[in-house]
Amino acid sequence: MIIVIDGPAGSGKSSTAKAIANRLGIKFLDSGALYRAITYLWLKSGKPDKAEFFENLSNIQLEADFKDQTFYVQAGGEDLTDKIRTKYVADQVSEIASYKIARSFVNSFMRDLVKKDTYIADGRDLGTAVFSDADLKFYMDASLKERAKRRFLEMKNSDSSVTLKDVMKNLRSRDEKDQNRDNDPLKRADDAIIIDTTGKSFEEQVSEMISIINEKLNLN
């Protein structure tokens, strides 16, 4: 069984999905972390030719696991969990994620990962392109200002040089790229339930979604 949460960057998808996973005793899948991992590896390699890099994606030994309320990502035995949360990676991830080969690689990885057990996953095109047959779909959103504040608080722990102005500029740019990319653009699935988190506390949005999940699905 798979529950998906789509929405723009900073709308609260990941933190909400993690909380729901913990409270309902299900697994969490962070699709954005997987794209960040690929982006990090491309940057670490010295920004090689993208076509050549993508052709060799199948050789990447990518692993992911959710434990202790953290989504861990490894590649070739290297722990990337903290390394992928920097502004340097964030500034490049939308470009890398726009490539069809990159999306196919990540989508295939996620589909294989959720073949067993019950998962909740967050991303931008899960309900439309990856898990169109998901058991339940949400679309989370919030104002740009509120999303920027959330992302700034998240990023400053791993990158002290980041500023709120930088984050807002980055999110505005990512929104434009994600909504207008040729391959699997960000959009709400027709059957997704809209959750606007602007002005809501974290507990309010989590409780609202758990109530809907309990009403729509039988996870016992």
Residue 217 falls inside a structural domain: no
- 99-134 pLDDT, tens digit per residue, is 889 989 999 999 998 988 899 998 888 999 899 999
Q: What is the pLDDT of residue 119?
A: 92
Determine, yes or no, domain membership for 215. no
% of the chain residues with pLDDT over 90: 53
pLDDT category of residue 220 using cuts at 50, 70 and 90: low
Per the domain annotation, does 92 fall within a domain? Answer: yes
C-alpha span between 37 and 40 (Å, rounded): 5
Q: Does residue 170 lie within any of the structural domains?
A: yes
Tell me how many domains the chain contains. 1
C-alpha distance from residue 116 to each of 45, 110, 111, 112, 113 (Å): 33, 11, 10, 8, 7
Distance CA 125, CA 123 (A): 6
Q: What is the pLDDT of residues 129-174, one digit of tens each?
A: 899 999 999 999 989 998 898 888 878 877 788 899 989 998 998 8
pLDDT of the residue at 188 = 87
For residues 200 and 80, give the distance between their C-alpha atoms in angstroms, rounded to a whole number: 31
Residue (of 119, 106, 146, 163) closest to 7 by Cα position: 146
CATH of the domain at 140: 3.40.50.300
Confidence band for 95, pLDDT divided at 50, 70 and 90: confident
- Tokens 């069984």 sit on residue: 1
> What residues contact 173, with CB distance under 8 A and at least 6 apart?
94
Distances 51 to 17, 34, 35, 47, 88 between C-alpha atoms, Å: 33, 19, 16, 11, 21
Is residue 100 domain-resident?
Answer: yes
In angstroms, the CA 134 to CA 126 distance is 9
Which of helix, strand or coil describes residue 123? strand
Q: Give the structural domain span for 184.
A: 2-205
